[in-house]
């Protein structure tokens, strides 16, 4: 074990790196690194072993993370000079471009939830070691921290330790609690945590507080620190957040800190998980049977759970609506009840994915918006998470707009690498769950509340990036693209138009990303370029995708705020039902009867 003097010297070395790196980059947050120097020194060079995990929740202090990894021998020291450069993986805030990072941070207050997921993963694997999360004091105001604090106690995560770098100053002024560390202590104790207050610049106190946790409950070490510590003109001063030193200031600062010549070994050795796919049969259905796609999802998840012991279900007290409940009954050890705390639900999934589990996260599509920032950040972690949103659109009916997922597709389509799937029946759902299981990355499945008829034979395949042609003839004069609930409206519209002598082609656009661009373009052309897209969502996002491929389309989407009513009344009121599709086709033909 290194001496306290050595750890203090290493802390200063991390300070020097952080100051040099940010000055070289011309931007960054040196002072928030300086407050954490002793904490990082103690964690990386005294406390953490080869089985331990680290989450750097205060992502703007990225330089000191890069510095610690370099001193730990995990990054060549010369790479530190690349901080924030476009050709470096040492970004301004940690992302998975740097292969040792599995939890990207920079949106504050998210690290603890991921840490909970990692600690839970260790429990599931009966694996040794602890998970350490370094969090700022300012970010402790984020509600997701308290969602995670609740969860850690619920799960008895005594392999989890949170260190709060309470440096008193936020970006634009003092934090809410400043140096009232008793306030943090009271809160964590009330939530059921072991809480210890220490001098965060005293390596002996830090090492003592972090050496071991408390049986049966998580540990919070609240460290009193000073922003800019170690440099007289920075320490505890306002106005220095996110500002690198100029060259002359840097020289003065380095002179104050002194040489800090030291090298220490570190046992910390994070590794990326690998994922493999185990094939399974996700359920069979009889054409014409009435089955909600959410029910087909529940059945497929259960089958997947049987095939693959790495699959974990995470739910937010709606498992009897998302239909994850059968999985919960069959595999209680791999079923995580996150309660009504969707941010933590997503963060838990990130931590589980970082440790090689495959989380399937389900709630009402509307409530995924609650976790939007966590979902957005998960894409920068290179996570392998499957999100499932039930109760999509106005077709849920009487519960009213608060329960209707009308922005979930916009959310996931604004993530460039996310797979986005929207099945129209139970067979498609089963096959698309298989596609998601096979895919490594973030994917989204949108399911429908109401029962709808089974359309497909069980042998039908649904590759990501494909589409299905459900009605087709050489005489087709318009293309109608539907998905989910509107696919059934499109089929009704086809029949109504057929009775009037108008042939239309109907396609099931079950794969929104990847989008079947070439197939879509071909069908549109074969139908005279007349295209109608009907979607149970705000803003016409599917129409926007289609228009990008085929040109102008008639977009039927939810254009005003809906209300309570029956499913059929609302589809009609919002003009996304079969009658609206018929009218749109007729208008296209009136405008261009050729």
Q: Scan residues 543-572 and list those touching its own copies (CB under 8 A).
A: 543-545, 547-548, 550-553, 555, 558-561, 563-566, 569-570
DSSP3 helix / strand / coil % (the chain, rounded to 5) = 45, 15, 40
To its own copies, the closest distance from the beta carbon of 195 in angstroms equals 10
To its own copies, the closest distance from the beta carbon of 577 in angstroms equals 13
To its own copies, the closest distance from the beta carbon of 117 in angstroms equals 16
Q: Which is nearer to its own copies, 129 or 528 (CB)?
A: 528
Cα-based distances in Å from 249 to 34, 246, 284, 326: 15, 5, 70, 62
Separation CA 214–CA 336 (nearest Å): 23
To its own copies, the closest distance from the beta carbon of 319 in angstroms equals 5
Residues in 527-546 at the binding interface with its own copies, rule: CB under 8 A: 537-541, 543-545
Member of 77, 85, 278, 329 binding its own copies (CB under 8 A): 85
Q: Is 414 helix (H, G, I), strand (E, B) or coil?
A: coil
304, two tokens? 């997947």
Contact 118, 273 (CB under 8 A): no
For the beta carbon of residue 170, count every other beta carbon within 10 angstroms.
20
- What burial letters (b/e) apply to 566-594, b meaning 16+ CB within 10 Å? ebebbbbbbbbbbebbbbbbeebbeeeee
Rule CB under 8 A: say whether 187 interacts with its own copies: yes
Residues in 165-184 at the binding interface with its own copies, rule: CB under 8 A: 170-173, 175-176, 183
At residue 346, what are phi and psi to the nearest 5 degrees? -70, -40
Q: Which is nearer to its own copies, 37 or 318 (CB)?
A: 318
Residues in 137-156 at the binding interface with its own copies, rule: CB under 8 A: 138-139, 141-147, 150, 154
Between helix 143-154 and helix 342-354 the angle, nearest 10°, is 70
Separation CA 226–CA 242 (nearest Å): 15
Residues in 417-446 at the binding interface with its own copies, rule: CB under 8 A: 417
Q: Which is nearer to its own copies, 285 or 412 (CB)?
A: 412
Q: Which is nearer to its own copies, 51 or 88 (CB)?
A: 88
To its own copies, the closest distance from the beta carbon of 19 in angstroms equals 17
Residues in 458-477 at the binding interface with its own copies, rule: CB under 8 A: none
Rule CB under 8 A: say whether 116 interacts with its own copies: no
Helices (H) and strands (E) in the chain, counts: 21, 19
Separation CA 574–CA 220 (nearest Å): 51
Rule CB under 8 A: say whether 84 interacts with its own copies: yes
Beta bridge partners of 162: 133, 220
Residue with token string 């197939």: 519
Residues in 376-395 at the binding interface with its own copies, rule: CB under 8 A: 376-377, 379-380
Rule CB under 8 A: say whether 416 interacts with its own copies: yes
Q: What is the DSSP letter of 103?
A: S
Member of 199, 249, 326, 337 binding its own copies (CB under 8 A): 337
Member of 79, 202, 256, 317 binding its own copies (CB under 8 A): 317
Per-residue binding letters, 346-365, with its own copies (x by CB under 8 A): --------------------
Q: Which is nearer to its own copies, 25 or 219 (CB)?
A: 25
Separation CA 390–CA 303 (nearest Å): 19
Contact 446, 389 (CB under 8 A): yes
Stretch that binds its own copies, among 277-285, 294-302, 407-415, 449-457 (CB under 8 A): 407-415
Q: What is the DSSP string of 189-228?
A: HHTT-EEEEEETT-HHHHHHHHH--BTTB-EEEEEE--TT
Member of 189, 272, 329, 438 binding its own copies (CB under 8 A): 189
Separation CA 102–CA 209 (nearest Å): 26
Rule CB under 8 A: say whether 518 interacts with its own copies: no
- What burial letters (b/e) apply to 201-234, b meaning 16+ CB within 10 Å? bbbebbbebbeebeeebbbbbbbbbbbbbbbeeb
Separation CA 420–CA 523 (nearest Å): 21
Member of 367, 444, 456, 510 binding its own copies (CB under 8 A): 367
Q: Which is nearer to its own copies, 73 or 544 (CB)?
A: 544
To its own copies, the closest distance from the beta carbon of 239 in angstroms equals 9
Residue with token string 């010549």: 261
Stretch that binds its own copies, among 266-274, 311-319, 441-449, 450-458 (CB under 8 A): 311-319
Residue 342 is among the residues annotated as catalytic for this protein: yes
Residues in 24-43 at the binding interface with its own copies, rule: CB under 8 A: 25-28
Member of 235, 373, 519, 586 binding its own copies (CB under 8 A): 373
Separation CA 307–CA 303 (nearest Å): 6
Q: Which is nearer to its own copies, 160 or 570 (CB)?
A: 570
38, 342, 435, 535: the active-site residue: 342
Residues in 478-517 at the binding interface with its own copies, rule: CB under 8 A: none
Member of 260, 267, 496, 573 binding its own copies (CB under 8 A): 573
Residues in 191-230 at the binding interface with its own copies, rule: CB under 8 A: 191-192
Rule CB under 8 A: say whether 268 interacts with its own copies: no
Q: Which is nearer to its own copies, 276 or 402 (CB)?
A: 402
Member of 19, 120, 220, 318 binding its own copies (CB under 8 A): 318
Member of 2, 30, 92, 218 binding its own copies (CB under 8 A): 92
Size of the site for its own copies (CB under 8 A): 110
Could you tell me the end-to-end alpha-carbon distance of the chain, in angstroms, rounded to an integer? 84
Separation CA 480–CA 530 (nearest Å): 9
Member of 100, 292, 369, 433 binding its own copies (CB under 8 A): 369
Nearest Cα residue to 199 out of 374, 4, 389, 1 = 4
The residues carrying an active-site annotation are: 342
């Amino acid at each position: 074990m290194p001496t306290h003097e050595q750890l203090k010297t290493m802390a200063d070395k991390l300070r020097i790196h952080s100051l040099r790196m940010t000055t070289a980059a011309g931007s960054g947050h040196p002072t928030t690194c300086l407050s954490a120097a002793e904490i990082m020194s103690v964690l990386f060079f005294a406390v953490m072993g080869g089985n331990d995990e680290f989450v750097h929740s205060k992502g703007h202090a990225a330089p000191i993370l890069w510095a610690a990894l370099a001193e730990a021998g995990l990054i060549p020291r010369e790479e530190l000079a690349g901080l924030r450069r476009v050709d470096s993986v040492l970004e301004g805030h940690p992302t998975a471009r740097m292969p040792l990072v599995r939890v990207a941070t920079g949106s504050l207050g998210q690290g603890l939830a991921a840490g909970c997921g990692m600690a839970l993963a260790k429990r599931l694997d009966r694996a040794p070691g602890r998970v350490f999360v370094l969090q700022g004091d300012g970010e402790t105001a984020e509600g997701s921290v308290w969602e995670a604090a609740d969860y850690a106690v619920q799960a008895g995560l005594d392999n989890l330790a949170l260190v709060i770098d309470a440096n008193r100053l936020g970006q634009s002024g003092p934090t809410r609690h400043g140096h009232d560390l008793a306030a943090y202590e009271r809160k964590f104790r009330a939530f059921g945590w072991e809480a210890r207050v220490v001098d965060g610049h005293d390596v002996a106190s830090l090492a003592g507080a972090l050496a071991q946790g408390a049986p049966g409950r998580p540990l919070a070490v609240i460290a009193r620190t000073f922003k800019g510590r170690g440099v007289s003109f920075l320490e505890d001063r306002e106005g220095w957040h996110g500002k690198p030193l100029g060259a002359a200031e840097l020289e003065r600062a380095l002179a104050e800190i002194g040489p800090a010549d030291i090298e220490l070994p570190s046992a910390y050795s994070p590794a990326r998980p690998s994922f493999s796919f185990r094939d399974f049969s996700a359920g069979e259905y009889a054409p014409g049977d009435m089955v909600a796609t959410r029910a087909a999802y529940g059945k497929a998840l259960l089958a997947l759970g049987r095939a693959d012991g790495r699959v974990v279900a995470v739910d937010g007290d709606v498992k009897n609506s998302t239909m994850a409940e059968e999985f919960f009954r069959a595999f209680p050890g791999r079923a995580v009840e996150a309660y009504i705390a969707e941010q933590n639900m997503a963060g838990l999934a990130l931590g589980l994915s970082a440790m090689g589990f495959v989380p399937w996260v389900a709630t009402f599509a509307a409530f995924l918006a609650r976790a939007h920032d966590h979902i957005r950040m998960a894409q920068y972690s290179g996570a392998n998470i499957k999100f499932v949103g039930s109760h999509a659109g106005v077709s849920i009916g009487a519960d009213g707009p608060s329960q209707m997922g009308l922005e979930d597709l916009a959310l996931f389509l604004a993530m460039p690498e996310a797979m986005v799937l929207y099945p129209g029946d139970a067979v498609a759902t089963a096959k698309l769950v298989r596609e998601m299981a096979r895919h490594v990355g973030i994917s989204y499945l949108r399911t429908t509340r109401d029962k709808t008829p089974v359309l497909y034979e069980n042998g039908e395949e649904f590759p990501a990036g494909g589409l299905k042609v459900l009605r087709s003839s050489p005489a087709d004069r318009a293309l109608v693209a539907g998905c989910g609930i509107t696919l059934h409206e499109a089929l009704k519209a086809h029949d109504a138009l057929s009775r009037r002598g108008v042939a239309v082609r109907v396609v099931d656009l079950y794969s929104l990303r990847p989008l079947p661009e070439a197939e879509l373009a071909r069908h549109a052309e074969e139908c005279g370029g007349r295209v109608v897209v009907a979607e149970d969502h705000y803003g016409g996002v599917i129409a926007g995708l289609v228009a990008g491929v085929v040109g102008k389309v008639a977009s039927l989407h939810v254009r005003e705020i809906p209300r309570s009513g029956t499913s059929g009344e609302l589809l009609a009121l919002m003009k996304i039902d079969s009658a609206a599709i018929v009218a749109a086709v007729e208008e296209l033909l009136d405008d261009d009867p050729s």
